[in-house]
């Protein structure tokens, strides 16, 4: 399986989720299922059935996170330098209407377009990679092409690129 990239913050978030599921959610759900099973007839026991479904969902997510964390490569934006857009960069662009926006190029697992965090494999992320300040970039989107100019590039920890 190919490597995928993630920021340290994204990796910490996934690791914390995995730990929470393994140490808190799963044991709690197992206890709930055991308690429901002790009530007798399982065929009409909604608590038991729901608990088993929840347990399967938790186990599925644990397996996913385990496998995903194995293939993720943590890339710290603070260590990047240069005048081109690479993973972890915060990029300010100006669109055709003069609106300025800031985006941080992040991994697929931490993409949050509402907060200005776009995946490096998204149409916008791919269009911005390896570009420099002053370049005009055409972003191919389902809603139609959008042309933006890169006005600034920075690296480092960014809490919310919209600001």
* Cβ–Cβ under 8 Å, residues 26 and 58: yes
* Cβ–Cβ under 8 Å, residues 65 and 14: yes
Where do the domains of the chain lie?
4-74, 77-154
* Cβ–Cβ under 8 Å, residues 128 and 103: yes
pLDDT tens readout for residues 54-91: 999 999 999 999 999 999 999 888 777 778 999 999 99
- The strands making up 100-106's β-sheet, listed across from edge to edge, are 117-119, 100-106, 90-95, 146-154, 136-139
Q: Which of 122, 98, 94, 114 is nearest to 160 (CA)?
A: 114
Tell me the fold of 77-154: Chitinase A; domain 3 (3.10.50)
**What is the pLDDT at residue 159?**
43
Residue 40 DSSP one-character state = S
Beta bridge partners of 93: 101, 150
**What is the pLDDT at residue 1?**
57
Tell me the fold of 4-74: Helix Hairpins (1.10.287)
**Domains 4-74 and 77-154 equal at CATH topology level:** no
* Cβ–Cβ under 8 Å, residues 129 and 118: no
Q: What is the mean pLDDT of each run of 10 residues along the chain (163 residues)?
A: 85 96 96 87 82 96 96 86 88 92 94 93 93 93 89 71 42
Q: Measured between alpha carbons, how far apart are the two ends of the chain, in Å?
A: 36
């Amino acid at each position: 399986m190919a490597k995928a990239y993630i920021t340290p913050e994204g990796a910490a978030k996934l690791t914390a989720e995995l730990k929470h599921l393994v140490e808190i959610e799963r044991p709690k759900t197992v206890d709930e299922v055991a308690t429901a099973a002790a009530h007798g007839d399982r065929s009409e026991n909604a608590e038991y059935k729901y608990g088993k479904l929840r347990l399967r969902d938790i186990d599925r997510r644990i397996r996913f996170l385990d496998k995903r964390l194995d293939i993720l490569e943590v890339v710290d934006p603070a260590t990047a330098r240069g005048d081109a857009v690479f993973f972890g960069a915060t990029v300010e662009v100006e669109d055709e209407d003069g609106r300025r926006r800031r985006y941080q190029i992040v991994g697929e697992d931490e993409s949050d377009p509402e907060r200005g965090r776009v995946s490096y494999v998204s149409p916008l992320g791919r269009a911005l990679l390896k570009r420099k300040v002053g370049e005009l970039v055409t972003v191919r989107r389902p809603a139609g092409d959008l042309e933006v100019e890169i006005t600034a590039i920075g690296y480092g920890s960014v809490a919310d690129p919209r600001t």
